[in-house]
A and B are shown apart, each in its own frame.
Chain A
Amino acid sequence: MSEGWTRLHPLSPVVRLGRAAIAIFVLLLPAVFGGNIARDYPQLGVVALLGLIGFVNWLVTRWRIDGDDLRIETGVLRRQSLRYPLKQVQAIDIVRPGLARMFRVAELRLRMGGATGGTARLAYLNEREVEPLRARLLALAHGGEDAEAPTPEEDDREEVLATLPTGRLVASIFVSDVGIVAEAVLLGLVLGAVFAPSAAGGIVGGGTAEIVGVATLLWRRFNQEYHFSLARGTDGLRLRGGLVALSAETVRPGRVQAVRMVEPFIWRRLGWCRLELDLAGRQRRKGEDETTGRQLRALLPVGSRALALELLELVVPDAPQPTERAPRRVLWKSPLRYRFLAWGRSDRAVVAQSGRIRRVTVWLPLEKVQSLRRVEGPLQRRLRLASVHLDTAGRALHATLRDRDRSEADAALSALIPLARAARRAPP
């Protein structure tokens, strides 16, 4: 199946410039509304140059589906011809930033697996073309496993598994660990402003970057997870959500490398938790684009434990519970972690629980284990303890059976090696 080359949407450069485009618009206003052209000449030059670069970039970028590959050609001075094998696609996302929604365009993002895997981005395409193209690419990606491509009508059947009420999202952000710290700081500042206005002013001045950083973090969480919904379709789990920037992601359950359940301090009292999953892909690198290297994707941004365990069963079948507690002497080494340290296993998956203030539980399907390690530090040796690590090809997660009795660690390692081998060889 091949076809001719296609260009991206003509408005792509404008959207790609994003916030800069708005700034440029503001910059241009005085020139347009009776400003002095001579005085604004340099600004106009910069704008024209940026526009020209964007336009040329758009002109030389084209893409096509070539058999089992997606090919993208781009670049003027350094011509690049990129080839993305569709068989290695881990997930296909549709991302729509605020500006893209205004212009009715959307970005298609293909997450690739493998050691060289990166992200193939088609930014931007017409909104109407995106859905059919995504379905087609997914069908091609499935090609190797099931030749039957899902027809559009079939594709529309889906079962909603979870939705997130806005009230709960807001409440959960307010009582999350970061949220509580932010509120405490804010309270301190207000009190400070009342009792010692000059000192508070100094604090705000000095900590502006931090304050903005925390606010951005909280806002981003709200922006991403507003109106979140999780549904099961024929092609996998569909995750949707967003306030200003909409995103729609499709995850194939067999591609999940690890699942993590996070329970911050206050959430635990309310019986809430957050379920996140990790897919194969390049490990996060320094300087990587903020949005592609962002945190793990949430399968359930906030919800009850019971619902989370139900969803967990979808992505990690036969998930065990952490039943094996750590020996008491671990209190000497990790007094805060001790109460959470536990692990468990079934024939197909392993679970490890840890955390100091937050309780963090990681599930790993054994067929995804890449390598195993037993590590013994100096303090651990004194206490006859050892940790067992299980590595996956995921971006961020790996399971650590931390601080086990030495003999137990050896027994666990000896048991997990053949289990992982069997899981790897068994048909999925």
Chain B
Amino acid sequence: MLDSGPDWRAPSPRLLTMRRLEVAAITLVVAIALFVALVFVSVVGAVIALVVALALGGLLELFVERRVHAWGYAEREDDLFVRRGVMFSRLSVIPYGRMQFIDVTAGPLERLFGLATVRMHTAAAASDARIPGLAADEAARVRDRLAELGEAQAAGL
């Protein structure tokens, strides 16, 4: 099978926690801002806005969970498989020999959770392959493994 099997791995469970926190923080900020802006005009309107904003945030939390669970990657013999997306689901196949460089990045929030994003670059701009939310040691392992495989199979343009 192409996009399922025992060799598929998922990002760290901490990624879901992080994404949930992000959504919760944004929801709260928006809800409070709306409430404060409307409370002087009409208290009822402000309460309704608050409830709607919180409900939307709740829905978004559900969606975020599906999105995080859609991420996955598999290291096959000659290619790296990365899958992502709920609405637009994508399965990218990147031959190791085509990788030009790999970078590992970790933003401030990611560092707080001990996570990192691994990104693979090929000569084609369209092949954007990244795996977010890997535990720092797993990210380093993936990077070293991909670099090693890429070196062994490198092909010219």
Contact = CB atoms under 8 A, between A and B. Distances in A.
Interface string A410-424: 100110010011001
B94 A371 contact: yes
B91 A373 contact: yes
Interface string B45-80: 000000000000000000000000000000000110
Contact of B93 (A283, A381, A393, A417): A417
A114 B93 contact: no
Interface in B89-111: 89-95, 97-98, 100
A428 B125 CA distance: 24
B121 A410 contact: no
Contacts of B94: 370-371
A47 interface: no
A283 B125 contact: yes
A392 B100 CA distance: 13
Interface string A387-417: 0010111100010000000000010011001
A371 B100 contact: no
A371 B129 contact: yes
Given A370-B98, A373-B127, A389-B126, A113 B93 contact: no
A280 B87 contact: no
B124 A391 contact: yes
B92 A373 contact: yes
A371 B92 contact: yes
Contacts of A374: 2, 90-91
Given A413-B2, A424-B155, A370 B122 contact: yes
A236 to B, nearest CB: 16
Given A373-B127, A378-B87, A417-B79, A393 B92 contact: no
Nearest to B98: A370
B88 interface: yes
Please name the 9 residue pairs, one residue from A and one from B, whose CB atoms are nearest each other, closest first: A371-B127, A393-B123, A370-B124, A391-B124, A372-B93, A370-B122, A391-B126, A374-B91, A283-B125
